[in-house]
Structure formats: structure tokens, C-alpha cells
Structure 1
Amino acid sequence: MILAASLLAVLAVLLAWPVPLAVARSTWPDRAPGTALLLWQAIALAGVLSLLGSLLVAGLAPYGPHPIAALRVLTSDVGHGEIPPATSYASALALAAAVLLGVHLVLNLVATVIRTERQRARHRSLLLMLSAPMPEAPRTRLLDATAPIAYCLPGTARSLTVLSAGLLDLLTEQEVLGVVEHERAHLRQHHALVLVAFRAWRIALPWFPVARRAQHAVGLLTEMLADDQARRSVPDPVLARAIVVTSGGTGGEPVEDGPASDPVSVERRVRRLVSPAPIPAGVRIAVPVAALALVVVPPLLLALPAFAG
């Protein structure tokens, strides 16, 4: 089991820094945001599984030839009020770290979801008081503000798209259509669920620089995916101008940490519209395969001792 724990630890280290850093510095994600988003999700899931798995297997190693047998021995002895004789400080520390980290991540995810829902509920209450419905656009509210504002507010019962009067004054009819389709794409594709998971990861591991980088990268990819949906309704140059105008106000969901107004992110979104580049065929094939492998490898390494036995 020591070999499996070591391999899982190596994989956890690779997914904690060099792999996400290489993906973040690549240029191909701008051309294939959906594929890149799939890869980021696989990196996050496999990284957590590898870290927890390495600690768990290392902690169970003294008790049996594979995790299931070792867990049976441990739970049997503990159930009889005995400490297994093979227990060492290192194994006890590894087991405690695995349990505490797993509980911390789960509880933090639950707390982040609850906190986000409360923020959305408060925001929706204020929005209904300060805005007016747009009869020509269902589930869309108009704010009486001069700043160019456009965002969506997800909700379990009712989602809303919010536009400002200042935005309507600055954009043409086609550009407004592009903005509305962009925001509705966020709602249809449930980007808020992905964003809240990566925000929870960043909050749970604030000392982990890759978590913040991953959250920003995923936020930008969701913006690009929404752009790709909107460009089906309006020409690319029209959408590009609308992005530039709306970036001066507020974009994305107001309670999210999104890159909608970040100048570098806006420039990348506009560039891919005005100067589209082909997506390498190898990327379309290799990246999904790599993402699948990342998710499958940690469970296989956890089962490796049992197969070896």
C-alpha cells in the first residue's frame, strides 16, 4: 500500500501546481472553452481524490494488505475499544489528516452553497424593489441606472436577467440581444453551480495559490461559453462591442468572483471574436481523454493494493 500512497501523493503534487499552471498559461483554452472547463473540473476532482487517497492509504497501510482489509481490522479493533498494535504516530497522523481534510472540504462546500443562496435571496429582494419588469423580455428586470450593467441572478425557483437603462442607451438592438443571450446562457448552462464549487475550493484552501488561479480561469471560461451561445444570435463584431461596453459596468453574477470586468479577460474574450483561430484536432481528442484519465486514475491507485494482493 505504500507504493499506492506514494503514487497518489505524486499525482496530488502534480495536480496542485505544475499541471494547472501549464493549463492556465496555455492559449488553446480560449479556442475550446468547453473542453478546457472539463479539464479544470477533472484537475480539481482528481487533485482532491489523490490528496485524500494518499493520506488514507498511508494511514491504513499498517493494518492490512489493501485498504478494505485494513479498514476492517481498524474498525474491528476500535469497535472493541482497542488500539491496533500496528498503529504508529505516522499512520495515526495520516488518518486524522485524511478525515479532517475531507470533513473540512465537505462542510465548506455546504457552507458556501448556503451562504451564496442567502446572498442571492437578499439581492433578489432588493432587485425587485429597485427595478421594473421588462414586458418585452420575460424574467428580465430594468434598473434605472446610468452605468452599463448586465448580469444574471440564478435561483432555484426563478432566475432573473438584469439590465440597466444606461446599457440600453449605449447599445443597439442587436447588441442588447447579444447581451441578453449571453446572460441567459449562464442560466441555461448552470454556470453558477460550477463557480460555487470552485469558490468553495478556494475558500477551503486559501493558502493554495492554484485554487485562486483555477477559480479565475473557470470564471473566464464560463464567460466564453456564454459568448459562444450569444454569437449564434448576433454577429461576432456586434457581440465584441457589446462586451467592451458592458465591461465598464457589471457583468456576471454579482455575488460571484467573476472576471467579466477584468481588462485582460475582456481583451481575451474580444480577441477570440474578432480574430477567431481554429482549434487543433489533437486538443479536441487528447484533452477529454486526459480529463477522463485524471478522474479514473486515483480510484485505480486506491484499488491497486487489492489487485496486487
Structure 2
Amino acid sequence: MFWAAHFLAGLAVVLAWPAPVALSRAKWPTRAPFTAMILWQAIALAGGLSMIGAMLVWGLDPLGDNLVEALGRFGEMAFANQPVDTLGLVHVFALSAAGLLSAHLIFTLLLTYAKIRGQRKRHRDMLNLLSSPAVNRPATLVINHPTPVAYCLPGGARSVTVLSDGLLDLLSPAELDAVLVHERAHLHQRHHLLLWAFAAWRAALPWLPTSQLAQRAVNELIEMLADDEALKRVQEPVLARAIAIVASGSLPDQQGDFAHGHSLAVTALAPGATPDQDAGATLNRIRRLLTPQPPLSLPQQAAALGASGLLLVAPTLLLVAPWVLG
């Protein structure tokens, strides 16, 4: 298991720095946002698995030729209260680090979920007081505010899309239809779950380039996915104008009210976003619509998806059967 630990550690380093940096600078994700989203998820999952797995395999190396055997031996020692003379100080340290990191990631994931759920509850309570149902538009609320605002509030069967009077006054019927389809796409495609996971990943490891770059990229990619859904109903210039109008109200006022023209799923789950990043993402979305690029070819998409699958399979094989490497 010695070589398996080194391979996992090397893979963790690659996925923590050069891989996310290279993907964040690539131009092709705007041509295939779904494929890019899959690849970002694979990098994050494989990176975490490799990081924890390297420490786990290193710590259990003296107890067996593979992880299953070593874990069984470690369990016997723990339950039988046997001495752990086989394990040196470095192995105990590695096992402790793997356990602490795993607990930290799980705890941060749950804590982030609790915070987001609390934010949504408070926001929904405010909406109950300050909004009214939209006429002839189910699961849509209207708030009395002059700033162009459109966002979705996830909540299962209670999910709603929120619009402002200011937005309704500015949009044409086609543009309003595009905005509604866009926001509902966030809900139907469960984008809030992706954002929750990546927000927790960044909160747990804020110093890691993977967590920072991935959250920023995923925020932008889900908007592009929702844009693609809206394009099934309207033409590119119509959607681009609607995006520009909504984005004009993207900066919150001093009271922190509803004046933030992006999806609540993004602003609530990714509190680290800055106005400059939001503005840059909006410009990228509009540029993508007004100067469309050809989609990735099938071989290119297959290569990206294959790389995603390989990233997930390789650490798993090294953990389950590290004896393959000697």
C-alpha cells in the first residue's frame, strides 16, 4: 500500500492546484456547460477522496496488503483492545489526520446546510409579509420594489420564483417568459444542491484553489445551463436583454433587501461572491448569447466525460485494491 498512498497523494496535489487552475482558464466550458459541470464535480470529489485516502492508506500500511484487509485488522485491534505496536507515530498521525479531515468535511457540509435552511426560512417569512401572488402565474410571487429583481427560492413543493414590480415594468412579455423559464430551470435541475455542496467545500477548505475556483465556476455554469433552457422559448437577443436588465439591480442596497438581481440560490449558497465576479459572469453570459460558439464535438465531450469518470474510478481502485501497485 506504500505506492498507493504516494499515488493518491500525488493525485490530490494535482487536483488541488494545477487541474482547477487550468480548467478555470479554459475557454471551452462556455460551449459545454453541462460537461464542464460534471468535470468540476469529478475534480472536487476525486480530490477529497484522494486527500483522505492517501492519509488513510499510509496510516494502515503496516496492517495489511490492501485497505479492506488493513481496516479489518485495525477493527480487530480496536474492539479487542489490543496494543497498536505495529503502528508507528507517523501512521497514527496519518490516521488521525484522515479522521479529522473527514469529520471536518462532514460537519461543514451539515453546518452549511443548516445555515442555508435558516436563511431560506427567514427569507420566506419576509416574502409572506412583503409579496403577493402573481396573476395567472403559479408558484410566482411579486414584491413591490422598483429595482429589477428575479430569483428563485428553493423549497421542494413550496419553491417559488420571485419578481419585482420594477422588473415587470421593464420587460416585454417574451423577456419575462425567458426570465421565468431561466429561474424555474434552477429549481427543476436542482442547482441549489450543487451550490450547497460547493459552498460547503469552500467553507471547509477556503485556502484550497479547488474550492475557490470551483465555486466561482459552478455559479457561472448553472446560470448558463438555465440560459440554455430559456433559449428553448426565446431568441438569444431577447434573453441577453433580459439578463442585462436583471443584472442592473444586482447590487444590494444598504439595508440588504431584495435588490440583488441574481438567483437566491447563488447569493444564499455562495456568500463569497463579489459584485465584480457577478458582473464578470453576467458579461460572459451575454457575450455567449450574442456571439455564440459552436458546441463541443462528440469526441471532445466524450474525452471530458471520460476524464471525469477516470478521476472518480482511479482513487477508488487505489483504495480498494492498492496491492495492484505492489
- Please indicate, yes or no, whether the TM-score normalized by the shorter chain is above 0.5: yes
- Measured in 2, the distance between the counterparts of 1:128 and 1:156 equals 17
- Measured in 2, the distance between the counterparts of 1:232 and 1:129 equals 34
Contact 1:60-1:70 at 8 Å conserved across structures: yes
Structure 1 stretches lacking a partner, 5+ long:
none
- Measured in 1, the distance between the counterparts of 2:220 and 2:13 equals 25
Name the SS for the 2:162 alignment partner.
strand
Structure 2 stretches lacking a partner, 5+ long:
250-260
TM-score (norm 1): 0.96
Partner residue, 1:257:
270
Contact 1:60-1:91 at 8 Å conserved across structures: yes
Partner residue, 1:188:
188
Out of 316, 319, 324, the residue aligned to residue 299 of structure 1 is 316
Partner residue, 1:285:
302
Moved more, 63-72 or 16-25: 63-72
Q: Deviations over 1:213-236 (max 9, x none)?
A: 110100100000000000111111
Q: CA deviation at 1:192?
A: 0.1
Change (3 A) 1:4 1:86: same
Tell me how large the CA RMSD over aligned residues is.
1.5
Name the SS for the 1:255 alignment partner.
helix
Structure 2 counterparts to residues 156-305 of structure 1, below 5 A: 156-249=156-249, 250-253=261-264, 254-257=267-270, 262-281=278-297, 282-305=299-322
Partner residue, 2:39:
39
Aligned residues: 309
TM-score (norm 2): 0.91
- Measured in 2, the distance between the counterparts of 1:84 and 1:266 equals 57
Contact 1:223-1:260 at 8 Å conserved across structures: no
Check if 1:128 corresponds to 2:128: yes
Q: CA deviation at 1:308?
A: 5.8
- Measured in 2, the distance between the counterparts of 1:239 and 1:302 equals 47
- Measured in 1, the distance between the counterparts of 2:110 and 2:321 equals 32
Partner residue, 2:254:
none
Opposite residue 194 of structure 1, the aligned amino acid is: L
Q: Deviations over 1:4-42 (max 9, x none)?
A: 000000000000010011000001001110110010011
Q: Deviations over 1:75-134 (max 9, x none)?
A: 222222232221111100000000111111111111111221121111011111101101
Q: CA deviation at 1:210?
A: 2.7
Structure 1 runs (4+) deviating above 3 angstroms are 258-261, 306-309
Name the SS for the 2:68 alignment partner.
helix
- Measured in 2, the distance between the counterparts of 1:24 and 1:86 equals 44
Moved more, 244-253 or 221-230: 244-253
Q: Deviations over 1:234-288 (max 9, x none)?
A: 1110000110110112211141327696121111101111111112314211101
Opposite residue 74 of structure 1, the aligned amino acid is: F
Name the SS for the 2:269 alignment partner.
coil
Contact 1:240-1:270 at 8 Å conserved across structures: yes
Contact 1:178-1:239 at 8 Å conserved across structures: yes
Partner residue, 1:21:
21
Partner residue, 2:252:
none
Name the SS for the 1:234 alignment partner.
coil
Contact 2:62-2:87 at 8 Å conserved across structures: yes
Q: CA deviation at 1:169?
A: 1.2
Q: CA deviation at 1:292?
A: 0.7
Opposite residue 319 of structure 2, the aligned amino acid is: L
Structure 2 counterparts to residues 51-62 of structure 1, below 5 A: 51-62=51-62
Name the SS for the 2:270 alignment partner.
coil
Q: CA deviation at 1:137?
A: 0.8
Contact 2:116-2:268 at 8 Å conserved across structures: yes
Contact 1:198-1:214 at 8 Å conserved across structures: yes
Q: CA deviation at 1:154?
A: 0.3
Change (3 A) 1:148 1:9: same
Partner residue, 1:75:
75
